[in-house]
Amino acid sequence: MSSSRTFEDKQPQRRASSGFEFLKGVGQVTGGTLLSITMLASSIVAGGLVGLAISFRNLPDVRQLRNFFPSETTYIYDIKGKLLASVHGEANREVVPLDRISPNLKRAVLASEDSHFFDHHGINPTGVGRAVVVNAVAGGVKEGGSTVTMQLVKNLFLTRKRAFTRKLAEGVLAIRLEQILTKDQILEMYLNQVYWGHNNYGVQTAARSYFNKSAEYLSLGESAMMAGLIQAPEEFSPFASMKLAKQKQKEVLGRMLELNWIDQQEYDDALKQEIKLGKIKSFQGSALPYITNTVAQELAKKFGREALLKGGMRVQTTVDANFQVMAEDTVVKWHKSLLGQGLSKNQIALVAIDPRTHFIKALVGGVDPKISEFNRATQAQRQPGSSFKPFVYYTAFATGKYGPDTTVVDSPVSYRDGNGWYYPRNYDGGFSGPMPIRTALAQSRNIPVIKIGKAVGMNRVIETCRTLGIMSPMEPVTSLPLGAIGVTPLEMASAYATFANYGWQSPPTVIARVSDSSGNVLLDNTPKPQLVLDPWASAAIIDVMRTVVTSGTGKGAAINRPSAGKTGTTSSEKDIWFVGTVPQLTTAVWVGRDDNRQLASRATGGGMVAPIWKDFMEKALKNVPVENFKSPSQFPRPKSN
């Protein structure tokens, strides 16, 4: 900065000033008497503090501030850097280094709070002496005489109770602190620590809230207004009263002019400057709560809740905000459409995952997060119905004994289990005789999948589910192939994504990268896929599920590109699904009611959910090139076992 008045380069020129204006109106005290009292009080206090330091052995050790990290707000961004939410505890703070704080603000704060900051060693004897006189006249603690260093140690270590003993402790700690930290370090810590009102701690969050800009770019007028907030931030906030805020601004600018830190022209220009206010941001909700709440849960699980609220993490999600909004709008649109079709009180969840990375691209946990924050995409355990069947057929394919064209007979059958005899039925109540597995899945026949499940062993099916990340309780019962378990839409989308990536899997995540406020990487979720399924069997089940879309129960999901998927409908029409994929995107859509009651008679995944999937996928893939799935013939078929 070029100005000769910049205190970073050299101490500002100061006008001679008695410093005793505070006693105007106290007529009983003559100027000479006042000077004598002040000097005597200053000497007593300054000397007394040195002696008292010996007795203040129970005070905090200020040396720990060398490694002090103030609590900071965690910021969550979309994949392109758009801010989605800030997460913090009591203190909403973003720490910035001193060289990224406007010199205007630094001068304004020191002019207002501690104009002798670069002269003293923690306490200002003149200021303390003045406070002693004022307090003696008033008969109590009315003026503090605190330096910036004293204010800092008070904020960090001491209570806000006004008492002489606390003031003495401030002085002792301030002297100690000045011995271990430089002036710049103290000022940087102070500016990042001080409370500016509206739950803004530190200059950066305050500047963004009051003026919608970084602290680095604050003008002189804005800086003076902010400096005027420190003593009573809520009272003098321009959001509360612009008149009072301008009054305090004028006082600060007047003090800067008196100190010769600004000239008359700068003073006049700053007062004339139009103040453009920002918005109170500390209490704003998330732009995309289903995403940011999921992120917060992942962070708390990984780093702990304390780190989430105070660690100042910078989180890049895997989600494009515009893409997520499109997904949410699709859900709202179809919620209304289904209401018109008689599906009262319906809720919808949607999860879209890139099968190549297992990055979550969209996650919608319900129709309206403002009404209900319950995230059905990640928290609702619902029966998948027939959308579970591909897990059974994959397990059979992985043995090497079965393939898409293996014949299975759709005929009456009965099984005895722990609850007596079980007579499985097809959805239409009839039987179709011998058919290939491809047709059995395309038509969603129940008897064939149960027979295949019994043949390969239900425990093997459970092992497949566990490998795919489905962790719900499962028993190897005869009805398992019909989806008689609880799963989340996220689990279903992730499982199908592993099929679509031919057995390669990474943990599904909504977080791409996490760093601290200094840029140090804390978590890097760059995909590291592992081969967890047989590639041939995965390609084979995708190939069979393509038939579901082209000529089976999922024809309503057909789009103008190769796609594979499976409908799901529970026997009581409480849960209806469509889970499907193209090579670049896998999406699960679930519809049901929170009270777990029937949606409507004859409600099916193929008739009511496949169109939702189609609508979403057509929008999602609008500018994505068409790709073909790999053929099973491109992979070696497993040997029979």
334 shares its domain with 248: no
Query: What CATH number does the domain containing 116 carry?
Result: 1.10.3810.10
pLDDT at residue 65, as a whole number: 60
| pLDDT: which is higher, 490 or 304 | 490
Is there a domain that residue 191 lies in?
A: yes
pLDDT at residue 59, as a whole number: 60
Query: What CATH number does the domain containing 498 carry?
Result: 3.40.710.10
Looking at 242, 272, 302, the residue that finishes a domain is 272
Is there a domain that residue 293 lies in?
A: no
Domain total of the chain:
2
Residue 636 is inside which H or E element, if any? none
Rounded Cα distance, 225 and 212, in Å: 14
- For 4-22, the pLDDT digits (tens) are 334 443 344 333 232 223 2
433 shares its domain with 564: yes
Q: Indicate if the alpha-carbon torsion angle 234, 240, 246, 247 is positive or negative.
A: negative
351 shares its domain with 453: yes
Reading across the β-sheet that carries 195-197, which strands appear in turn?
92-93, 200-201, 195-197
211 shares its domain with 333: no
268 shares its domain with 337: no
The pLDDT mean for the chain works out to 85
pLDDT at residue 341, as a whole number: 92
Active site residue 113: yes
| pLDDT: which is higher, 558 or 142 | 558
Is there a domain that residue 286 lies in?
A: no
Looking at 211, 240, 272, the residue that finishes a domain is 272
Q: Is the pLDDT of residue 122 over 50?
A: yes
Range of the domain at 266: 21-55+90-272
Is there a domain that residue 315 lies in?
A: no
| Upper half-sphere CA count for residue 456 (Cβ side, 13 Å) | 27
340 shares its domain with 239: no
- For 186-198, the pLDDT digits (tens) are 999 899 888 888 8
Query: What is the rounded radius of gyration, in angstroms, for the C-alpha atoms of the chain?
Result: 35
- For 154-165, the pLDDT digits (tens) are 877 755 555 455
Sequence-distant contacts of 556-560: CB under 8 A, at least 24 apart: 556/606, 556/607, 556/610, 556/611, 556/614, 557/610, 557/611, 557/613, 557/614, 557/617, 558/614, 559/614, 559/617, 559/618, 559/621, 560/626
263 shares its domain with 337: no
429 shares its domain with 539: yes
| pLDDT: which is higher, 134 or 355 | 355
Is there a domain that residue 65 lies in?
A: no
Here the tokens at position 343 are 């599906």
Residues 6+ away with beta carbon under 8 Å from 369: 289, 290
Here the tokens at position 165 are 């003993």
CB neighbours of residue 341 within 10 Å: 14
Query: Which of the following is catalytic: 71, 86, 115, 386?
Result: 386
Query: What is the amino acid identity at position 47?
Result: G
Q: Is the pLDDT of residue 40 over 90?
A: no
For tokens 């309206």, name the residue. 368
Of 195, 151, 150, 186, give the one whose Cα is nearest residue 171: 150
Q: Where would I find the beta strands (DSSP E) of 231-329? A: 314-317
Is there a domain that residue 32 lies in?
A: yes
Q: Is the pLDDT of residue 376 over 70?
A: yes
Rounded to 5°, angle at Cα 388 from 387 and 394 = 110
Q: Is the pLDDT of residue 90 over 80?
A: no
Of 603, 538, 609, give the one whose Cα is nearest residue 567: 609
Q: Taking residues 388-398, report their average pLDDT.
A: 98
Q: Is the pLDDT of residue 26 over 60?
A: no
Looking at 272, 291, 310, the residue that finishes a domain is 272
249 shares its domain with 329: no
Q: Is the pLDDT of residue 525 over 70?
A: yes
Tell me the residue length of the chain. Answer: 641
Q: Given pLDDT bands bounded at 50, 70 and 90, which one contains residue 283?
A: low
pLDDT at residue 54, as a whole number: 47
- Left (φ > 0), alpha (ψ -120 to 50) or beta: where does 172 sit? alpha
Is there a domain that residue 307 lies in?
A: no
What does DSSP assign to residue 38? H
Find the Cα–Cα–Cα–Cα dihedral 294, 300, 303, 309, rounded to 10°. 110
* For the chain, percent of residues with pLDDT exceeding 90: 63
pTM recorded for the entire structure: 0.74
For tokens 């003045």, name the residue. 130
- For 126-151, the pLDDT digits (tens) are 766 555 555 555 554 334 468 988 88
pLDDT at residue 137, as a whole number: 57
What does DSSP assign to residue 487? B
Is there a domain that residue 239 lies in?
A: yes
Rounded Cα distance, 25 and 31, in Å: 12
- Left (φ > 0), alpha (ψ -120 to 50) or beta: where does 441 sit? alpha
For tokens 């001068």, name the residue. 107
- For 234-282, the pLDDT digits (tens) are 889 998 889 999 999 999 999 999 999 999 999 999 999 999 998 876 6
Active site residue 432: no
152 shares its domain with 29: yes
pLDDT at residue 47, as a whole number: 53
pLDDT at residue 152, as a whole number: 83
Query: Which of the following is catalytic: 113, 170, 266, 573?
Result: 113
- Give the least confident one: 72-76, 467-471, 617-621: 72-76
